[in-house]
Chain A
Amino acid sequence: MKLTLNIWRQANAESTGAMKTYQIDGISPDMSFLEMLDQLNEDLTEKNEEPVAFDSDCREGICGMCGVVINGTAHGRGVSPVRTTTCQLHMRWFKDGDTITIEPWKAGAFPVVKDLVVDRSALDHIIEAGGFVSVNTGAAPDAHATPISKFKADRAFDAATCIGCGACVAACPNGSAMLFTSAKVAHLANLPQGQPERKLRVKNMMAQHDAEGLGHCTNIGECAAVCPKGITLDSITQLNRDFIASLFSGVGKAQ
């Protein structure tokens, strides 16, 4: 396949970036999107040009490291027929002669490090603000020692599949990380182990979310549409409910 690529190039966080056009040939439909970028970088290196910087790690859709906006949708969700991360997007969904626009996640809280690489530390800070979970240490407890309903276990598991890639922030017109934060909150809020710190956790995580400069949620739904793990807006409901409940409790107030 022969393709035209419009790629965001930015030398570092301080410089202003711009779109640059590249031609690439010999792309197999069986290549992944990142393999296509690898080939572009080989071409650029041979031509003594600066290769395009992008993040990637596991390349099997579980680490949450890769992620770019492809043709206007995060992870190229608009191109792919199924939920996907950028690494799991395949070139077979593109046609010979296509023009592909590739941009980094763009949000106030995600400064560009270089080209397509952004700093997503804001998400880590939210996790840190969540604090600890009170569990007894020692030998592993019996699997049936803590009863939990199937419904709640499923909800917790669904929320726990969030890989923290940041696609929700990239897709949100307000640059909000509500879907990410709510997945992390819903994960522990549905489990017995998460109960002791439940209200304090939601308060602290939301406070950190806002402090990071992430936007507010207006329930548009773009986040859930692009989420590679299919986190639904239901987890945002859980976050809202827990947050309202936390407002009516004394947690987090000075003793």
Chain B
Amino acid sequence: MTKKFAMSITGMILVAFLLMHMFGNLKLLISGADFDAYAHYLRHFLEPVLPPYFFLTIFRLVIAAAVLIHVVMALHLVIRDTVRHAHSAGLSVRRYTMRRYLEGSFAARTMIWSGLIVLLFIPFHLFMFTDQIIKIGYSDPSTPSHLRVVFAFQNWGIYAIYFVAMAAVSLHVWHGFYSAMCTLGWRVGHSSTVVIKACSWIVAFLIFAGFMLVPTLIAFGVINS
């Protein structure tokens, strides 16, 4: 059960990170130069009090640790349950020949799958925009950040990958936010359930709409280089 608390807390840290990341992306709506300045400032946060890259490195370590703990705990819990089901006499992983769900939403039952989609997406995303191992539509590594974003989303294949990944992460957060609140004991009655459910809708919508807004505008040519 402590594993679930660890998942709740790391999950909430990751939701907070996603909201911040989403907010930063929206700088591209103001101008490309603004976006580049933001990207530059992340690397030189609180300078000269902190040395260059100090904040970013700490920040990356915290996020990486949160992802690692979240994933390891999730795999541990899921494998433990499915293996136990499979090993007990006469039971397959698919337990019933006929199954009808009365309450549980699609998102709630597919957390592991939406989670795995996001997990596969993270290295792709980092290789593309952080490490520039995958270069879409340019070849010079010193191309400004905002242009790399614009070139990437002018490609419909990249747009489709991001669309699927953002749909998965929104579904994941929609149930994950609610579930984390429940696990941490915040859901105490009817009114708190309504508030938590409303918040999970808002967070999931913000993440999907906020992240997909800029790529959509680029893909349809509203924002261009």
Contacts and interface: CB of A to CB of B under 8 A. Distances in A.
Interface of A: 6, 8, 10, 13-17, 19, 69, 71-73, 77-78, 101, 103, 106-109, 111-112, 171, 173-175, 206, 210, 213, 215-222, 224-226, 233-234, 236-237, 240-241, 243-244, 247
A14 B91 CA distance: 11
A213 to B, nearest CB: 5
A218 B102 contact: no
B95 A241 contact: no
Nearest to B92: A106
Given A16-B89, A112-B90, A217-B183, A78 B96 contact: no
B109 to A, nearest CB: 6
Contacts of B179: 218-219
Given A112-B89, A221-B108, A19 B183 contact: no
B185 A237 contact: yes
A49 to B, nearest CB: 20
A236 B80 CA distance: 21
B60 interface: no
Contact of B4 (A17, A69, A171, A216): A216
B30 to A, nearest CB: 39
Contacts of A109: 84, 88
B187 interface: yes
Contacts of B186: 237
A10 B97 CA distance: 14
Contacts of A241: 185
Q: Which 7 A-B pairs rank lowest in CB-CB distance, beginning with the nearest?
A: A72-B100, A108-B84, A241-B185, A225-B103, A220-B104, A221-B103, A225-B102
Contacts of B49: none
Interface of B: 1-5, 77, 80-81, 84-85, 87-91, 95-105, 108-109, 111, 175, 178-179, 182-189
A215 B81 CA distance: 6
24 contacts: A13-B89, A17-B90, A69-B98, A71-B100, A78-B102, A108-B88, A109-B84, A175-B85, A215-B80, A215-B84, A216-B4, A218-B179, A219-B178, A219-B182, A222-B101, A222-B102, A234-B189, A236-B182, A237-B182, A237-B186, A240-B182, A240-B183, A240-B185, A247-B2
Main secondary structure of the interface of B (DSSP, over half): loop
Contacts of A19: 97
A221 B187 CA distance: 13
Given A173-B109, A233-B187, A237-B185, A244 B89 contact: no
Nearest to B179: A219
Residue of A72, A111, A240 with most chain B CB atoms under a 10 A cut-off: A240
B182 A106 contact: no
B98 A72 contact: yes
Given A216-B4, A234-B189, A14 B184 contact: no
A51 to B, nearest CB: 20
Given A19-B97, A236-B182, A216 B3 contact: yes
A190 B171 CA distance: 36
Given A173-B104, A221-B108, A225-B103, A106 B91 contact: yes
Contacts of A218: 108, 111, 175, 179
A106 B109 contact: no
Given A14-B89, A15-B90, A206-B1, A219 B81 contact: no
